[in-house]
C-alpha cells in the first residue's frame, strides 16, 4: 500500500540514530587544527591546575646571583627573571592567574549577557530597543580603554580587574544573544510551539535557549583570548595582578627593562599569551564549524 511504503534512504539512517552532540563531536575530531588547538588549550589548563607538581622550582624564590640568566642555564631551562626567579616555574604558575583572568570574566559575562540578550530579543519592540541602545553606550568605547577606565576608577587588584573585564564583555555577548534570539524567534517552530499551547516561559526555556546557547557559547570562547590579552594589559599597566604574583602580563611588564640584555627571555611571557590565545581562538573556530548542521 502506497502510504506504508518506506524510502530506503531513511531506513538506512534510522538504524543508528545519532544525537546532535555526537555529530558535533565527530565533525570536530575530523578537524585536525581544532583538535591540536584543543590539546594545547587542555594542556595549558592541566599545567595550571597541577602547577605545584609540574614546576621545577619555587616561583617566588630568587637570588641576585642568577639575575637574568639566559635560556638554557643549568637547572633553569628557561633562564631566570630580573630577580633571579626560575622563569619556567613562573610561566607555569602564571598560567593559573592568566587563564583565570581569561576565562572567569567571559563566563560571568556569558551568563549575564545571554540573559539580557535573550530577554531583549524575545521581548522585541521597545524593550529591545532600549536595552540595546543602553548597551550601545558601552560599545562606543574601545574595549581596552573601557577596561582600563573601570579598573582605574576602582583601583588595582584581581577582583576589580575581573569586574572591569566582565563589564567589557557583557555588551558584545548580549548583542550576539539578541541577534540570534531575534532570528530564532521568527522561525516557524516557535510559532508551532505556540500553536501547540506552550507558554512564553516554556518557549524561551526549551525552544529559544536550546537553539541559541550554542552560537553564543562559541562566540564567548573566542572572547577568552581577548580577555586574556586585556587582563595581561591591565597587569602590564599595574591595574590587575600585583607583584610578586606570577602573571604573564605582569611578567611582560617587569621584564621589559631587560629587553636589550636578554631579549628572548623578555619575550617568553608574550609567547605564552600568544600560544594560549591562538589555541583558544582555533578551538572556538573548530567548535563553530562543527556545530553548523547545514554543512
**Please, what is the minimum distance in Å from the beta carbon of residue 35 to other proteins?**
24
With binding defined as CB under 8 A, does residue 3 bind other proteins?
Answer: yes
Rounded Cα gap, residues 90 and 56, in angstroms? 10
130 binds other proteins (CB under 8 A): no
- The yes or no reply on residue 254 touching other proteins (CB under 8 A) is no
Nearer to other proteins, 45 or 213 (CB): 213
Assigned C-alpha cell, 99: 587563564
* 2 belongs to the binding site for other proteins (CB under 8 A): yes
Distances 137 to 121, 143, 148, 220 between C-alpha atoms, Å: 18, 12, 16, 20
Residue with cell 599595574: 238
Nearer to other proteins, 13 or 74 (CB): 13
- If one asks whether residue 10 binds other proteins (CB under 8 A), the answer comes out as yes
- C-alpha dist (Å) from residue 82 to 6, 55, 165, 179: 75, 19, 29, 49
Axis crossing angle, helix 158-185 with helix 143-154, rounded to the nearest 10: 140
Candidates 14-22, 130-138, 141-149, 158-166 — which segment interacts with other proteins by CB under 8 A?
Answer: 14-22
Please check whether residue 207 is in contact with residue 197, taking contact to mean a CB–CB distance below 8 angstroms: no
State in angstroms the smallest separation of the CB of 217 from other proteins.
13
**Spatial separation of the C-alpha atoms in residues 244 and 160, rounded to whole Å:** 18
Spatial CA neighbour of 105 closest among 226, 253, 276: 226
Residue 18 touches other proteins, criterion: CB under 8 A: yes
| Nearest distance from C-beta of residue 292 to other proteins, angstroms | 12
In whole angstroms, the minimum distance from the beta carbon of 137 to other proteins comes to 27
Identify the DSSP state of 70. Answer: P
> How many chain residues are in contact with other proteins, going by CB under 8 A?
35
84: DSSP letter: S
Which residue in the set 4, 64, 137, 153 belongs to the binding site for other proteins (CB under 8 A)?
A: 4
Work out which of 64, 65, 74, 125 binds other proteins, going by CB under 8 A. 125
Task: Indicate the residue among 226 and 291 with the shorter CB distance to other proteins.
Answer: 291
Nearer to other proteins (CB atom), residue 68 or residue 180: 180
Residue 119: name the closest of 201, 220, 187 by CA.
201
Count the neighbouring beta carbons within 10 Å of the beta carbon of residue 46: 12
Of 74 and 188, CB closest to other proteins: 188
CA of 56: how far to CAs of 53, 59, 77, 88, 91, in Å?
Answer: 8, 9, 10, 8, 11
* Using rule CB under 8 A, residue 293 touches other proteins: yes
Residues 159-218 that bind other proteins (CB under 8 A): 187-189, 191-199, 202, 206-207, 210-211
Interface positions with other proteins (CB under 8 A): 2-7, 9-11, 13-15, 17-20, 125, 187-189, 191-199, 202, 206-207, 210-211, 293
Amino acid at each position: 500500500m502506497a502510504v506504508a511504503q518506506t524510502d530506503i534512504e531513511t531506513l538506512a539512517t534510522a538504524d543508528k540514530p545519532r544525537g546532535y552532540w555526537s555529530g558535533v563531536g565527530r565533525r570536530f575530531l575530523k578537524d585536525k587544527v581544532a583538535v591540536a588547538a584543543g590539546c594545547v588549550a587542555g594542556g595549558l589548563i592541566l599545567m595550571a591546575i597541577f602547577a605545584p607538581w609540574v614546576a621545577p622550582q619555587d616561583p617566588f624564590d630568587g637570588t641576585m646571583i642568577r639575575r637574568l640568566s639566559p635560556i638554557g642555564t643549568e637547572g633553569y631551562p628557561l633562564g631566570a627573571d630580573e630577580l633571579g626567579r626560575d622563569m619556567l616555574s613562573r610561566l607555569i604558575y602564571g598560567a593559573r592567574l592568566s587563564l583565570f583572568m581569561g576565562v572567569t570574566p567571559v563566563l560571568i559575562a556569558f551568563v549575564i549577557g545571554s540573559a539580557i540578550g535573550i530577554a531583549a530579543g524575545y521581548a522585541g519592540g521597545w524593550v529591545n530597543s532600549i536595552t540595546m541602545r543602553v548597551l550601545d553606550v558601552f560599545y562606543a568605547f574601545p574595549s581596552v580603554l573601557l577596561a582600563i577606565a573601570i579598573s582605574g576608577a576602582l583601583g588595582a587588584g584581581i577582583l576589580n580587574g575581573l569586574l572591569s573585564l566582565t563589564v567589557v564583555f557583557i555588551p558584545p555577548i548580549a548583542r550576539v544573544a539578541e541577534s540570534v534570539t531575534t532570528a530564532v524567534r521568527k522561525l516557524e517552530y516557535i510559532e508551532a510551539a505556540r500553536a501547540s499551547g506552550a507558554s512564553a516561559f516554556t518557549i524561551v526555556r526549551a525552544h529559544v535557549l536550546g537553539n541559541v546557547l550554542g552560537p553564543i557559547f562559541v562566540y564567548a570562547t573566542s572572547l577568552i583570548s581577548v580577555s586574556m590579552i586585556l587582563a595581561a594589559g591591565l597587569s602590564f599597566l599595574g591595574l590587575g595582578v600585583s607583584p610578586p604574583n606570577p602573571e604573564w602580563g605582569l611578567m611582560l611588564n617587569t621584564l621589559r627593562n631587560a629587553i636589550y640584555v636578554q631579549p628572548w627571555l623578555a619575550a617568553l611571557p608574550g609567547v605564552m599569551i600568544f600560544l594560549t590565545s591562538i589555541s583558544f581562538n582555533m578551538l572556538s573556530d573548530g567548535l563553530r564549524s562543527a556545530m553548523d548542521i547545514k554543512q
